[in-house]
Structure 1
Amino acid sequence: MQGDQGQTLPLYIWLTGILLLAALAFFAFAQGAAVRGTTQTAADAAALAAAQQARDDLITALGDGVTEGDDWLAWLDGELPEVTSAGAAAQELAAANEATVIAGPQPSEARGYHGYRVEVRSIGTVGDSVIPGTETMRAEAAATAVIEPLCDYDPDADPEEPVELDCDGQVVEIDPDDFDPDVLPDPTTMFSVYLAE
């Protein structure tokens, strides 16, 4: 009888070791999931920051277009400005979420609207675990945010004549000959920014 008990002891030790190894592996996967989640949050924040900055730059370009006699109505359709500080805004928000921008913000289109796609990589690694190589693994994620125009106007409108805009229920008249930038509604009333992917 004592011999039987002695033979079960190595079996218990072996099973305990297997369970401990499985628990450590599960912990490594949980660490990886946490890093991926944080990195996706960073990508979302960076894409939104890029699109919001572009929206602000779009309002400036719209005002400049009205005063300079350009076809400023094109800006109301969400056309992206060529010069924007979207990159700096994206990097700032990515860094605030423990990541760095590795691609973008790239102008893109999603759901029929212009926007920006940003790819980020986590600054931190998954960390040490029983799975080899995790101490150097970093998570990567991508997100796209779009700028949706909210202002309606007569499609036959002449940009050199007064134009009435209906921006999400707020009616504004823009007269290129007597333009005051303060007459423009808040950027959030003219353009909506949200994640598309």
Structure 2
Amino acid sequence: MIGRSRRDAGQAFPIYVVMVAGLLFLVFAFFAVGKAAALRNGAQGAADAAALAAANEMRRNYEKGFLASLPEDLLSQYLQRHPTIGCIAAEGLASANQADFVDCRETLGGRRDRVTVDVEGRKTVDSSVLPGSENTRAKAKATAEVEFLCDWTSVDLNDDSIRDVFYFTCEDGFLEIRPSSPPPWDQVSKILYDVHLVDN
């Protein structure tokens, strides 16, 4: 009887070892998956920040071209075709969020210009249960849009008193701009243009 108990215990021990090893593997696997998800979220946050920074830089650079494009016929042409310089701001924001800048693309869209940024996280998953994870880094992409929010308001251009004043109806209210003495662009541009993330 005692001999059988010892044999049963001896046979059960390898099973316990396998079960414990399996549980440990699952724990490490769940940890690796959780770490990978966290790194992916971090990379996405870096991509979002970089895309928004690039879009805001684009909006800042619109000032001279926008003011020079008035009146309406030239403004319409300007909205369809103008230089966009925003990607230079994306690299710094990606780095500040522990990611490496990979690529940036700007696309003109008339009243909606877009910038898409690709980044790669700096930390690796590096899990012993996931082969190759020591070189695996999270990648993410984000797109931000600069949307023109206003419509031209017609005025009598024969009236000399308003010859140099241009009027717009915007989502946030009425706006007038005098190119010879324009209001601060950092204030006006936020009424003229909205910056936001969009789905890729």
| TM-score interval, smaller chain | 0.7 to 0.9
Supply the AA of the counterpart residue of 2:128: S
Q: Normalised by the size of structure 2, how large is the TM-score?
A: 0.80
Identical aligned residues as a percent: 32
Q: Deviations over 1:142-176 (max 9, x none)?
A: 11110111212147998x87431123343233355
Instruction: Please give the residue correspondences for 1:174-189 in structure 2 after superposition, counting only pairs within 5 Å.
Output: 174-175=177-178, 179-182=180-183, 185-189=187-191
Greater Rg over alpha carbons, structure:
2
Q: After TM superposition, what 4+ stretches of structure 1 lie above 4 angstroms from structure 2?
A: 155-158
Judge conservation of contact 1:50–1:105 (CA < 8 Å) in 2.
Answer: no
Q: Unaligned 5+ residue runs, structure 1?
A: none
Quote the Cα distance in structure 1 between the aligned partners of 2:39 and 2:82. 34
Offset of residue 88 of structure 1: 1.9
Change (3 A) 1:131 1:108: farther
Quote the Cα distance in structure 2 between the aligned partners of 1:23 and 1:57. 51
Aligned to 2:171: 168
Quick check: 90-99 or 164-173, which moved more?
Answer: 164-173
Quote the Cα distance in structure 2 between the aligned partners of 1:54 and 1:87. 8
Supply the AA of the counterpart residue of 2:102: I
Change (3 A) 1:189 1:102: same
Change (3 A) 1:72 1:157: farther
RMSD (CA atoms): 2.9
Change (3 A) 1:161 1:87: same
Judge conservation of contact 2:116–2:142 (CA < 8 Å) in 1.
Answer: yes
Quote the Cα distance in structure 2 between the aligned partners of 1:25 and 1:191. 46
Change (3 A) 1:73 1:50: same
Judge conservation of contact 2:116–2:141 (CA < 8 Å) in 1.
Answer: yes
